[in-house]
Amino acid sequence: MCRHLAYLGPAVTLGKLLTEPDHSLFRQSWEPRRQASGVVNADGFGVGWYAEYDPLPARFRRFGPIWADQSFLDLVRVVRSGALLAAVRDATVGGSDGEAAAAPFADGRWLFSHNGALRDWPDAVAPLAAALPAAELLSMECRTDSALVWALVAHRLRRGDEPGGAVSEVVRELAGAAPGSRLNLLLTDGARILATAWGDSLWYLAEPEALRTVVASEPYDDDPRWQEVPDRTLLTATRDEIKLTPLKEPNT
């Protein structure tokens, strides 16, 4: 399992979102309040952000607990951005992939995170993996279930699928192949956020008058404007608009 967060809005320091709030993502690494499975997210972390004059996001990822990395605290104190995606990781199965297994994954302008786990990994989803082009399978950053989920989403984005349709289709295919999987996906290109609630918590904080939107596994403070996303839902967000679309169960 994991906890993750995406932001669109006026440029702020990364720490304003990730370390300063009372129940920030930093604190959620050891004290999540709404996580469906697992109690500590200490198997890696990462943040990807967009700079004003560069079309591609930068990433900072590490293996190990976020609270043990002093370089991260320096980074988030001074780096500013108007769009980011960050995550802390609780590995489903132990492995040696190191920081390559930490979200966000990236392709072009896209940043991606998966909060959840594939049931009966890897056997249940082997046919879906086998349907991917060999070059895309070989280019996966690591051998985790989340990396495969990203490969399936990225494949659809590269062939020109609409982003909301891409993540919705992948969630339904994986849920059909591996029932009981938890499939909260988070995707951004710096201008919009796509997220799914499927088996774990998802919340959003919308301030359209300030052109500011936060989508997160759980609220990072006690602001009463946080809204919970119903399970089996696709969230599509920009800086000034939120849209919620029910997701159909597989085979319906």
pLDDT, average across residues 223-244: 98
pLDDT at residue 96 in the model: 54
Tell me the CA distances in angstroms from 70 to 5, 28, 155, 157, one per residue in order.
Answer: 21, 17, 36, 35
Report the range of poorest mean pLDDT among 8-12, 36-40, 52-56, 235-239. 36-40
C-alpha to C-alpha distance for 123 and 98, rounded to whole angstroms: 23
Provide Rg for the chain, Cα atoms.
17
Per-residue model confidence as pLDDT tens digits over 162-171: 999 999 999 9
pLDDT at residue 172 in the model: 97
62 pLDDT above the threshold of 70: yes
Per-residue model confidence as pLDDT tens digits over 218-232: 999 999 999 999 999
Residue 252: pLDDT band with limits 50, 70, 90: low
Reported pTM: 0.96
Q: Return the active site residues.
A: 2
> Mean pLDDT score of the chain, rounded to an integer?
95
- Structural domains in the chain, CATH included, are 2-114+185-246 (3.60.20.10)
